[in-house]
Amino acid sequence: MLVTILIVLLILALIGGLPTWGYSRSWGYGPSGIVGVILVILVVLWLLGRI
């Protein structure tokens, strides 16, 4: 249940963090970089069996 919620939130964050929307073009790659770091942390925790 928790993993499903995390996956849905991560997908929404990936879509929202893309610099293709008009209001987010000046943000650069910051939001998508943060989402990428969170994704890497979740994958490492998943591989270690912590999630």
Name the CA radius of gyration of the chain, rounded. 13
Give the tokens for residue 37: 């770091």
* pTM exceeds 0.85 for this model: no
Alpha helices (H) in the chain, listed in sequence order: 2-17, 30-48
Asked if residue 25 lies in contact with residue 31, where contact means CB atoms within 8 angstroms, the answer is no
**2-48 tens-digit pLDDT:** 777 777 877 777 777 666 666 666 777 777 777 778 878 888 888 88
Q: How far apart are CA 22 and CA 38, in angstroms?
A: 24
